Chains A and B, each alone.
Chain A
Amino acid sequence: MADKTITAAAQWYARLCADDVSAADVAAHGRWLAADPEHARIWRQVERLRGTLGSAPARLAADTLNRADHHFARRRAVLRSSLGAVALLGGGGVLAWRVLPVEQMVAGYLADYRMGTGERRELLLTDGTLLWLDSASAVDVAVDARGRHITVHAGEVLIDTEHTTAGLPPLRVSTRHGTVRPLGTRFTVNRLDDLTRVAVLRHAVELLPADGGAALVLKAGEQGVLQTAAARHEGEITGEPDAWTRGLLVVDGMRLADFVAQLDRYRPGHLRCDEAVAQLRVSGAFPIDDTDRALAAVERALPVRVSRFTRYYTRITARG
């Protein structure tokens, strides 16, 4: 079972996780991956392994496994005396687990990622592309004959191709509304129900509507909307579209209704606002990892009241 490809994949992974991983290592790994479909098949298992490790809330998993090891060490002593000399327990070292607030992981182009509410992650893809996944986002990353491909199924991502290895096949970022073609750049893609919002922070991107409408180029500082039939400019960027990568929602004169829709993504359950206050404007930087604090700040700044009906339903209404 432990064939050459498995051993090689494991060695690649050990190398990519090393402190001194170089651009040359990353490029060499890309070539190894492309050299044989069997390599890609086994590498998918590495990605899946990462998925398993990342899918439990690390702090709870850590506490549980630590505690279990502690109990187990005691039970094992009892077991050993009752069984005589038993060498069946294997491993059994002390597990110590901790969480990183935003985990960066090395990831290849053959995986699916699903973030829970309140979960964010920074991925360093093996070609050097940085991909940040926001709360409740879902993406697939793949490589095929046409090149590298990131599909955003839900939520928002930030992509930075600044340090991507040169000379690789083109990168496309797609949603059901169309495709975004980066022209050497840093940009966010936010997949909403009926449209996809794109904001460009550096250089430029090209928007290609899914149904073949005219392409549109967005430059740094601009935002645009991609729908299946057409793409359009939405003027200058307001706020900081990538602030969520630092745990903040930064807005400047945003409608309360839009703000609430944004904050809702980081909060379990439902957050809604009444029509009567929907048009109020919000400005400032709000913590997205503590949405209660963000809501308290809104309550102080605007003539509104935040009512929590249940743990999972919060409503913003006019005050008084």
Chain B
Amino acid sequence: MSSLESLEHRELGLLYRDHHGWLRSWLQRRLSVPAEAADLTQDTFMRLLASPASMAQLQGVRQPRSFLATVAQRTLVDHIRRQVLERAWLETLAQQPEAHAISPETQAILLETIREIDAMLHGLGHKVRRAFLMSQLEGASYADIAVQLGVTVSSVKKYMARATEHCLVYALERQ
């Protein structure tokens, strides 16, 4: 471990000691199930630890609580997104007459795939995402997409390239 890294980890240790109680109550106020706040507090610190960029930012942060809150907000949003997806998945399954034919293992795998698709597209603008999905999943032609989104065909092509690049970067960063 380099001296810089250990310095950052020491900073994080101090941050945890001084602010984790505050962060937990901050999260508690924003969760419908307050008991989840403890887990999310841990998740927030884990997220900091896993992100070299955030760790670097830690140096010289003047207002650690506002910095922590920013990271915690992202953790919270991800958490809610996961919950919402899971609930939506269960509702969708409940409406399938054949749902009982899907084994719990398969269900878990499918939900994970849906999460993956959702995560992959995260951060794309509305029209870009829409164009990509219309083309790739609805089988729409670029001409149809252009009409629906009120843009030119050449914009659709640019959106497609941008979305594909976004997904490629997402995948390559995770290798």
- Selecting from A9-17, A186-194, A226-234, the interface stretch reads A9-17
A14 to B116, CA, bound (A): 21
Q: A46-84: contact bitstring with B at CB < 8 Å (1 yes, 0 no)?
A: 101110110111101111111110011001000100110
Given A6-B172, A100-B139; A64-B92 close (CB under 8 Å):
yes
A201 to B20, CA, bound (A): 70
Q: A4-37: contact bitstring with B at CB < 8 Å (1 yes, 0 no)?
A: 0011011101110111000000000000000000
Q: Is there contact, CB below 8 Å, between A90 and B123?
A: yes
B30's partner among A60, A83, A89 (CB-CB below 8 A) is: A83
Residues in chain A near residue B91, CB distance under 8 A: 67
B168's partner among A6, A63, A90, A97 (CB-CB below 8 A) is: A6
Q: Is there contact, CB below 8 Å, between A88 and B124?
A: no
User: Does A103 count as interface, using CB distance less than 8 angstroms?
Assistant: yes
Given A60-B92, A68-B85; A19-B168 close (CB under 8 Å):
no
A86 to B30, CA, bound (A): 14
User: Does B74 count as interface, using CB distance less than 8 angstroms?
Assistant: yes
Q: Is there contact, CB below 8 Å, between A49 and B167?
A: yes
Given A75-B84, A91-B125; A56-B165 close (CB under 8 Å):
no
Q: How far is the CB of B132 from chain A (nearest CB, A)?
A: 9
User: Does B141 count as interface, using CB distance less than 8 angstroms?
Assistant: yes
User: Does A268 count as interface, using CB distance less than 8 angstroms?
Assistant: yes
Q: Is there contact, CB below 8 Å, between A97 and B137?
A: yes
User: Does A2 count as interface, using CB distance less than 8 angstroms?
Assistant: yes
B73's partner among A42, A64, A88 (CB-CB below 8 A) is: A88
B135's partner among A2, A17, A68 (CB-CB below 8 A) is: A17
A227 to B162, CA, bound (A): 48
Q: B142-158: contact bitstring with A at CB < 8 Å (1 yes, 0 no)?
A: 11000000000100011
**30 A/B residue pairs, CB under 8 Å, sorted by A:** A1-B169, A2-B165, A7-B161, A10-B164, A14-B157, A14-B161, A45-B172, A52-B120, A56-B114, A56-B117, A60-B110, A63-B88, A63-B95, A64-B88, A64-B92, A68-B85, A68-B88, A72-B80, A72-B84, A79-B77, A83-B30, A91-B122, A91-B124, A93-B126, A93-B127, A97-B133, A97-B138, A100-B138, A103-B139, A311-B101
Q: Which of B's residues lie within 8 Å of A, judged by CB?
A: 29-30, 70, 73-74, 76-77, 80-81, 84-85, 87-89, 91-93, 95-96, 101, 110-111, 113-114, 116-118, 120-127, 129-130, 133-139, 141-143, 153, 157-158, 160-162, 164-165, 167-169, 171-173
Given contacts A6-B165, A56-B117, 15 further A-B contacts (CB under 8 A): A1-B173, A10-B162, A18-B142, A18-B157, A19-B143, A46-B164, A60-B110, A61-B113, A62-B137, A64-B89, A68-B81, A68-B118, A88-B73, A93-B129, A98-B138
